[in-house]
């Protein structure tokens, strides 16, 4: 991948008060929701974008200077790059055929079915400020007089019926999902750091250890491709540019020609509530990683 001779502006400058940008019009940063499960909203959006389907002819690529992905329309001549996901660019969405829109919607629906709790934010937010459940009293602390159990609200009764679970079970499930998301975010940051250093140095970079204690190395694009054979018995390499989310059909691409800008804003093509876990990193996490 070729990059401009001039270094890109910092993230703070690109998303601050600077007005010198040829970027498409985007929504106000005032619409950014609160951080959730320790993941900043803008980082969550970027992670969601990794799972969202792309229109035909579009590929993902990665810029090591901004340490961020971008999207390329390879049908353009020359190919045109954007920081925004194509389904968040109104003119791109308008240009899609009805058949292509249906295909993309079906892909998003499949993702939601695979991760049915990824969009379950309303209950999380609704109970975010509730105090934790009190501990069960021990035999020594058991009250002498019995009290009638607290009545459930209509909303809790409805959720019990619809989900087949109790409020207490949903609280535990939310706590489990929160911890899983925090772990995934930590792994996501480490993977991006390894990708950045690998691409800028041209050398494989240590990422993590797998469940068997073997070292995992992230290889640069166009690198030697040692794979499973070049690191000896105690390690192996993974190239996200060969078979991962940043693989492309040998199209020469460059980063977008305007400053990095990925505001949150509404989803033009759906996407809200898509999982942040999956793909290359999701498979490695399922196998177990040690940092």
pTM for this model (two decimals)? 0.68
- Span 194-213, average pLDDT: 91
Q: Is the pLDDT of residue 45 over 90?
A: no
User: What percent of the chain has pLDDT above 90?
Assistant: 22
Radius of gyration of the chain measured on its C-alpha atoms: 23
The predicted pLDDT at position 155 comes to 73
Q: pLDDT for 233-242, tens place per residue? A: 888 888 888 7
CB under 8 A, 24+ apart: contacts of 242-250: 244/279, 244/280, 245/50, 245/60, 245/69, 245/279, 245/280, 246/60, 246/61, 246/62, 246/69, 246/221, 247/59, 248/59, 248/60, 248/61, 248/72, 248/74, 249/59, 249/74
- Among 189-193, 204-208, 245-249, name the one with the lowest average pLDDT: 245-249
Which one of 43-57, 104-118, 249-263, 277-291 scores highest in mean pLDDT? 43-57
Residue 49 has pLDDT above 80, yes or no: yes
Report helix, strand and coil shares of the chain as percent, to nearest 5.
Answer: 35, 10, 55
- Residue 13 host element (H or E): helix 11-14
pLDDT digits (tens, 9 = 90+) for 88-140: 899 999 999 999 999 999 998 888 777 655 544 444 444 444 444 445 555 55
Residue 180 has a pLDDT of 86
Across 77-83, average pLDDT: 92
pLDDT of residue 119: 47
Q: What is the pLDDT of residue 268?
A: 44
- Reported as a pLDDT band with limits 50, 70 and 90, residue 59 is very high
Q: Which helix (H) or strand (E) holds 210?
A: strand 205-210
Between CA 102 and CA 86 the distance in angstroms is 15
pLDDT at 197: 94
The token pair at 114 is 């695979």
Average predicted confidence (pLDDT) for the chain: 74
């Amino acid at each position: 991948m070729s990059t401009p001779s001039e270094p890109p502006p910092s993230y703070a400058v690109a998303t601050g008060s600077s007005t010198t940008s040829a970027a498409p019009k985007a929504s106000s940063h005032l619409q950014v929701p609160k951080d959730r499960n320790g993941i900043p909203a803008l980082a969550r959006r970027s992670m969601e974008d990794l799972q969202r389907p792309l229109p035909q002819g579009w590929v993902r690529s990665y810029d090591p200077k901004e340490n961020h992905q971008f999207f390329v329309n390879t049908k353009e001549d020359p190919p045109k790059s954007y920081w925004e996901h194509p389904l968040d660019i109104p003119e791109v969405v308008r240009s899609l055929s009805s058949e292509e829109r249906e295909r993309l919607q079906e892909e998003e629906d499949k993702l939601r079915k695979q991760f049915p709790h990824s969009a379950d934010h309303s209950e999380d937010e609704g109970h975010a400020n509730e105090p934790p459940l009190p501990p069960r009293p021990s035999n020594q602390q058991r009250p002498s007089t019995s009290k009638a159990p607290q009545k459930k609200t209509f909303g809790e009764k409805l959720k019990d019926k619809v989900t087949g679970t109790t409020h207490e079970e949903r609280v535990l499930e939310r706590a489990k999902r929160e911890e899983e998301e925090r772990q995934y975010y930590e792994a996501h940051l480490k993977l991006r750091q390894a990708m950045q250093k690998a691409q800028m140095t041209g050398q494989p970079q240590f990422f993590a250890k797998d469940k068997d204690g073997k070292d995992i190395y992230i290889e640069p694009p166009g690198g030697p491709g040692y794979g499973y054979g070049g690191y000896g018995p105690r390690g192996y390499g993974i190239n996200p540019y060969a078979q991962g989310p940043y693989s492309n059909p040998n199209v020469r691409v460059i980063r977008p020609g305007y400053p990095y800008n990925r505001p949150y804003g509404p989803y033009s093509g759906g996407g809200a509530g898509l999982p942040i876990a999956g793909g290359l990193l999701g498979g490695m996490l399922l196998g177990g990683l040690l940092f």
